[in-house]
Structure 1
Amino acid sequence: MADSLIQQLGTFASNVRFDHLPTAVVEECKRLLLDSIGCAVAAIEQPKGRIGIDYARMMGGNGDATVIGTDERTSIFGAAFANGELINALDMDAVVPPGHVTPYVLPGALAVGEARCVTGKALVEAIAVSHEMSYRLGKAMDYLRDTKDGKVSPPPVYGYSSTVFGATAAIVKLKALPATVVANALGIAGSISPVNSQVAWFQHAPSSTIKYLLAGALTQSAMTAAHMAELGHRGDLQILDDREFGFPRFIGTRRWEPECITAELGEAWRFITEQAYKPYPHCRILHALLDALIEIVESNDIEPHEIESIKAWVEGFVEQPVWLNRDIGHVHDAQFSIAHGLALGAHRVPPGKAWQDPELVFGASVMRLMDRVTHEVHPDYVELLTSHAASRPANIEVRARGRTFAGERRYPKGSPSPEPSSYMSNDELVGKFRRNTEDVLSSARIDDIIERVFSLEKLENVATLLSLLRPGKNGALTRVSA
């Protein structure tokens, strides 16, 4: 009898070895790690980040794992919860189909890896497995940017619940459990995954601050699945094969293409082909527009008060309340509103956590300019999207000084695409990391972290890396000077 999909994924996770990973995969895992821990450090004073930290404290524990950017040490469960929330708080973390993956799959691996004092090579294996598994499941299911008959066709039910498999795989991988236990853990994970509530979140504005899926909650599902299997629970090994009653049905996907999961599994690494990074702390739908807008205002030295109007042509699926929202009552709302995002971008503030400083978000200049922002759906959106997955076509017109300044982009900065300039280089990721951490960590500490991440295969104990992300003593938000 052929192995089930769960068993095949379990075997895949168990068999991955660092020495067999392509160089490109290893390097992408390092990039993901650096970007993610930088996003976490940047968020320690953000409302969502602070709540995650406070909840981790409530969970208590034996101090086995670090809450990134703080001197807090909690249980692996508390650290995983907080770090998931921190990575995702600014909405500046990396994206790959099905969407945000890293804040769900990395935190458990970091916490367990630190507690078990695993090597850097072992952490790379876990990051690679979790992202490849999440990507393959994402490609097998409905996608936000699906099209049908030449029109956008967003699914009625959607979310990132399928990342629970990759998150669980990373944890059991680092625990070095047998393939049979790994499979049981994945079977349990499928049975206890959070619901896909993201479409409801799109429709209800101002939006819930849990976003598309509370990162901390999914890390706990993955932790539970991994530990229950280790303790002897049996998982549902058929949960991905059963189209009528299993995971595809109850998680709500219309499309189920399991060949996307298994084709060349363990031989071809596919997540790296679409792994993208976010220069701006804003929903990815606005990034190409921001690239074009910022070029216009900087190259022409246009001040916000000079702008008479901004008109944008956007992706077709964003005509939903979370993006149309102009009721900015929480800094979180600034991460998604089309009008507010473009108004803020025109202020030429370097992208980073400053974009969610309340003085800027609610400032009179930004709020006034937001009233002068309009948008339409890009007329060629579907055609360009179907010709290349990285396409996010964007046109923008800025009216100022009695003139119209126009710009356009097809691919946003940070995405691998046919345009080499859209790729975010290591130097650019390092620059983003420095900006995200410079007022929390010393310059020497930042240099040390960067060096260790990019030579992760030489690290004998990942706990030494995590220790560098604890900036002070006796206070979660203690800062150090350069």
Structure 2
Amino acid sequence: MTTGTLTQQLGAFASATRRDGAPADVRASVRMRILDILGLQVAATGLDTSRAALDFVASQGGTGQAHTVGLAEALPATWAAFAGGVLAHSLDYDDTHLPSVLHPSASVVPAALAVAEAEQASGAALQDAVGVGIEVVVRLGMAGYDLTSRNSVFFEHGQHATSICGAMGAAVASAMLLDLDESGITNALGVAASMASGILEANRTGGTVKRLHCGWAAHAGVTAATMVKHGFTGAPTALEGRFGFFRAFLHDGVDPEVVVGGLGENWSVPGIFFKPYPANHFTHTGIDAARRMRAAGVTPDLVESAVLGVAGPTVRTIGQPLEVKQAPDTGYQAQFSGPYTVAAGLFGGSGLGLGLDDFTDVLAQDPDRRRLMSKVTVEADAECEAIFPFQFPAVLTLRTTDGSTLVERVMVNRGGPDDPLSPDELRVKYTENATRVLDAGTAADVADRIDDLDVADSISAIADAVAQPMR
């Protein structure tokens, strides 16, 4: 795939994959990502923003084509994708690609599930569409990764790469499932480029709008592909053109090899990190360091003081302002607190070490945890910074009440290629999330059906099982 514009090369890649099928390891990874996203969607149904999203899509009307978690009635595929994307990203528990630091599955999987149900596509077709969609998200995200500064240009411009690139990947996945040809898939990318959006100001000053970003990206992707099916076309140079996607979002030149080099041969999908804990990814190695200390016999009452050393760029997210991070008011704030997550690891938790039940408003305000949090500071560490952002390492240095100093280094993230979660561990995560709403039998049936997607004629049974009103 070395000829044509970048969008045309991506369209050719998607068309070839639909014809030949994605590699077995890619399909296996996709099945785990679908399972992960469905569990997160179910677990997220109790959030105020989830209720708002579900009420909103239920009020829009239209022909029922597909289901979403949390509603019994079928919706237009565009709105099923929107609701699914909102639920998928709302718990900050979805997968992460490094070093681009974006979350590729939360837009692509909901879009693909909605279109696959509407079109009665096979399980194999769903897997291939999701795999290609995620690959497109990652490659466009990496187009915005600056090797020199080791940072995302999208982020520096205030843009949410997860939703911007997610709309593009969702469009490709949707176009494949709508049976568009190579030209149609290319056009879907071109149309979606005018729909991609998302700014990050709410991360600084408040607001829940970020929770709808992946929903809007999924909605945009399905809409773009459907509009192409009805006759719309996109610019063939929508990515690299003078007024295209890259110029609009990234401003400077982009290496085209990052986007199309090794397409169909070198897949990023299997190497994307799963999140074992429902917290900002920068906190995870600190959690693991604390858990290791707990396993070695360190209890909260033995802590005199602790320093969490992390890469400098992450301090502002999980360690500043320190007085706020040491006393979060809500479980959501606790997800972004280095002191809280270290404390939670030392207290011990649920699921794969820490689960959703360890991030509640009550626990964030618990006097014993706040006492421990007040002893934890967050500082930049040169060793960690040398590795970042290919991993988010941590060095936890703890001084005990008897004067001893303990040090625990965690240089790789659990859930990534160097310390992967096994299929059994991912099923534990899914089950803990899904059974917050679904009964154990239904949750297990959904997981079994996802395991069998290679031979499934359709996904209707999965869609019906998770499309239950919230309780």
What is the deviation of 1:249?
A: 1.7
Question: What per-residue deviation string (whole Å, max 9, x for no partner) do you get for residues 409-437 of structure 1?
Answer: 110110102xxxx1111011011111112
Question: What per-residue deviation string (whole Å, max 9, x for no partner) do you get for residues 58-77 of structure 1?
Answer: 33333332222553532222
Aligned to 1:177: 180
Please, which of 281, 285, 289 is the counterpart of residue 278 of structure 2?
Answer: 281
What is the deviation of 1:19?
A: 4.9
Aligned to 1:465: 462
Q: Distance in 1 between matches of 2:208 and 2:364?
A: 16
Aligned to 2:445: 448
What is the deviation of 1:368?
A: 3.4
Aligned to 1:31: 32
For 1:424, the aligned partner's letter is L
Aligned to 1:318: 314
Conserved 8 A contact 2:35-2:450? yes
Q: Distance in 1 between matches of 2:339 and 2:73?
A: 38
Q: Distance in 2 between matches of 1:32 and 1:46?
A: 22
Task: State whether structure 2 residue 43 is matched by structure 1 residue 42.
Answer: yes
Question: What per-residue deviation string (whole Å, max 9, x for no partner) do you get for residues 327-369 of structure 1?
Answer: 7354432222223333333331212221332222333333333
Q: Distance in 2 between matches of 1:68 and 1:425?
A: 25
Task: State whether structure 2 residue 138 is matched by structure 1 residue 132.
Answer: no
What is the deviation of 1:235?
A: 0.9
Q: Which moved more, 1:100-109 or 1:462-471?
A: 462-471
Change (3 A) 1:362 1:409: same
Within 5 Å, give how 1:232-251 maps onto structure 2: 232-242=231-241, 244-251=242-249
Change (3 A) 1:355 1:71: farther
For 2:337, the aligned partner's letter is S
Task: State whether structure 2 residue 371 is matched by structure 1 residue 375.
Answer: no
Q: Distance in 1 between matches of 2:19 and 2:355?
A: 33
Question: What per-residue deviation string (whole Å, max 9, x for no partner) do you get for residues 158-203 of structure 1?
Answer: 43212221110011110101222221111011122114x23x455x
Within 5 Å, give how 1:467-482 maps onto structure 2: 467-471=464-468, 476-478=469-471
For 1:366, the aligned partner's letter is R
Q: Distance in 2 between matches of 1:212 and 1:103?
A: 11
What is the deviation of 1:50?
A: 2.6
Structure 2: stretches of 5+ with no match in the other structure = none
What is the deviation of 1:252?
A: 2.8
Aligned to 1:220: 219
What is the deviation of 1:108?
A: 1.1
Q: Distance in 2 between matches of 1:201 and 1:104?
A: 19
Q: Distance in 2 between matches of 1:233 and 1:171?
A: 15
Q: Secondary structure at the match of 2:382?
A: coil
Q: Distance in 1 between matches of 2:343 and 2:293?
A: 13
For 1:257, the aligned partner's letter is D
Structure 1: stretches of 5+ with no match in the other structure = none
Q: Distance in 1 between matches of 2:264 and 2:226?
A: 25
Q: Distance in 1 between matches of 2:273 and 2:394?
A: 17
Conserved 8 A contact 1:34-1:450? yes
What is the deviation of 1:260?
A: 1.4
Q: Secondary structure at the match of 1:445?
A: helix
Q: Which moved more, 1:244-253 or 1:31-40?
A: 244-253
For 1:455, the aligned partner's letter is D
What is the deviation of 1:8?
A: 1.5
Q: Distance in 2 between matches of 1:154 and 1:120?
A: 34
Q: Secondary structure at the match of 2:306?
A: strand
Aligned to 2:304: 308
Change (3 A) 1:255 1:299: farther
Q: Which moved more, 1:321-330 or 1:101-110?
A: 321-330
What is the deviation of 1:467?
A: 1.4
Q: Which moved more, 1:82-91 or 1:39-48?
A: 39-48
Conserved 8 A contact 2:42-2:436? no
Q: Distance in 2 between matches of 1:10 and 1:18?
A: 12
Change (3 A) 1:455 1:381: same
Conserved 8 A contact 2:384-2:395? no
Q: Distance in 2 between matches of 1:333 and 1:406?
A: 27
What is the deviation of 1:306?
A: 4.3
Q: Which portions of structure 1, spanning 4 or more consecutive aligned residues, are displaced by more than 6 angstroms?
A: none
For 1:117, the aligned partner's letter is Q
Q: Distance in 1 between matches of 2:19 and 2:466?
A: 25
Change (3 A) 1:48 1:369: farther
Within 5 Å, give how 1:45-124 maps onto structure 2: 45-97=46-98, 98=100, 99-124=102-127
Conserved 8 A contact 1:59-1:75? no
Aligned to 1:210: 209
Conserved 8 A contact 2:319-2:377? no
Question: What per-residue deviation string (whole Å, max 9, x for no partner) do you get for residues 305-325 of structure 1?
Answer: 543333100122123357525
Conserved 8 A contact 2:286-2:338? no
Aligned-CA RMSD value: 2.4
For 1:112, the aligned partner's letter is V
What is the deviation of 1:247?
A: 1.2
Question: What per-residue deviation string (whole Å, max 9, x for no partner) do you get for residues 137-158 of structure 1?
Answer: 2222225xx544xxx5564224
When normalised by structure 1's length, the TM-score is 0.87
Q: Distance in 1 between matches of 2:315 and 2:467?
A: 42
Alignment size in residue pairs? 455
Aligned to 1:159: 160
What is the deviation of 1:254?
A: 4.4
Within 5 Å, give how 1:355-370 maps onto structure 2: 355-370=358-373
Q: Distance in 2 between matches of 1:54 and 1:330?
A: 24
Aligned to 2:335: 335
For 1:14, the aligned partner's letter is S
Change (3 A) 1:309 1:233: same
Q: Distance in 1 between matches of 2:372 and 2:253?
A: 41
Please, which of 415, 419, 422 is the counterpart of residue 425 of structure 1?
Answer: 422
Change (3 A) 1:48 1:404: farther
Change (3 A) 1:140 1:360: same
When normalised by structure 2's length, the TM-score is 0.89
What is the deviation of 1:212?
A: 8.1
Q: Which moved more, 1:174-183 or 1:438-447?
A: 438-447
Aligned to 1:398: 398
Change (3 A) 1:194 1:154: closer
